[in-house]
Amino acid sequence: MKIAMKRIIGFCLIIVAATLPVAAKTLRISAPILSGHFDKNGVGRSAAALEAIFHICGIRPEFELKPWGQHWLAYERDPDLDAVAIVWESAGINGFPSAPFIHQKNGVAFLAAANLKIRSVSDLKGLRVLGFGGATQMFPSLAAVLPDLKSYWEAPSGFSTTQALINKDVDVFITDGLIFAIDYKLRAKATGGTYGDSNWPKVKFVGLFPENADTITFRHKEDRDNFNRCHDEAVKSGALAKATKPYIDPYRDILGDQIPAE
């Protein structure tokens, strides 16, 4: 009788154990604080994209946020970090890079009231252009038209590029479209203003350069391969587009159709 009871109890424990939820695997990921991608709370377009992909894999990402550039150094220095995002090919990060999980589009932002007709880099001729550090190295087509620009200079770190546009100190600003749009509207809100008022006039963006592919680099190949598989599934099912939509739609009045598909 005792043996039978033990068998029954053991069988019941097996059933209970089988029905308990399996704890999701956790991956520690170094990520940058970057407008539109990861805010200081780890919320944004890239965060949403990665969460949607990892959800399919049954993995829970833990984002450890650092200032831009330092997120790469943190990954290189801390062997307990499983991955690092966002990574550009030129960063030279050790590990196993994923397929691109998101894309960025660079071009020019300018005041809508200026009515500039810009369709290509050659249309920047005669304009006062403000770039970010290293823009001419990143975009050879921009470097090629430098002699034809009215002026060109690159903003130092911390410089208010939006204010340069508003003050009409420059005609256009070389930038990532979505990052610019988000930052512009956030600044307006932070100062108690409203996008489109006299202090924060309406702006436009035109993409001029090839899209940048953002990847995530993993320390272990099996994690990279698993991620790529789940990324493909997220694209095919529409889960990726659904996850990033809330971080894109509020800025279409600035960006129009100048947003990468993913």
pTM over 0.85: no
Exposed / middle / buried, residue 218 (Cβ in 10 Å: 0-12, 13-18, 19+): buried
Regions of the chain where pLDDT drops below 70: 1-24, 158-159, 261-262
**Span 24-104+211-255 CATH architecture:** 3-Layer(aba) Sandwich (3.40)
Alpha carbon 28 to chain centroid distance? 18
Q: Is it true that domain 106-207 has CATH number 3.40.50.1400?
A: no
Token pair in block for residue 131: 């770039």
Q: What pLDDT sits at residue 21?
A: 44
Q: At what angle do helices 221-237 and 45-57 cross, to 10 degrees?
A: 100
Give the span between the Cα atoms of 124 and 151, in whole angstroms. Answer: 10
Q: What pLDDT sits at residue 14?
A: 47
Q: What pLDDT sits at residue 13?
A: 43
Residues in the chain: 262
106-207 shares the fold of 24-104+211-255: yes
Strand ranges (DSSP E) for 147-235?
Answer: 151-155, 172-176, 203-207, 212-218
> What is the residue extent of each domain of the chain?
24-104+211-255, 106-207
Q: What pLDDT sits at residue 257?
A: 81
Amino acid at 120: S
Q: What pLDDT sits at residue 64?
A: 97
Exposed / middle / buried, residue 80 (Cβ in 10 Å: 0-12, 13-18, 19+): exposed
Q: What pLDDT sits at residue 23?
A: 55
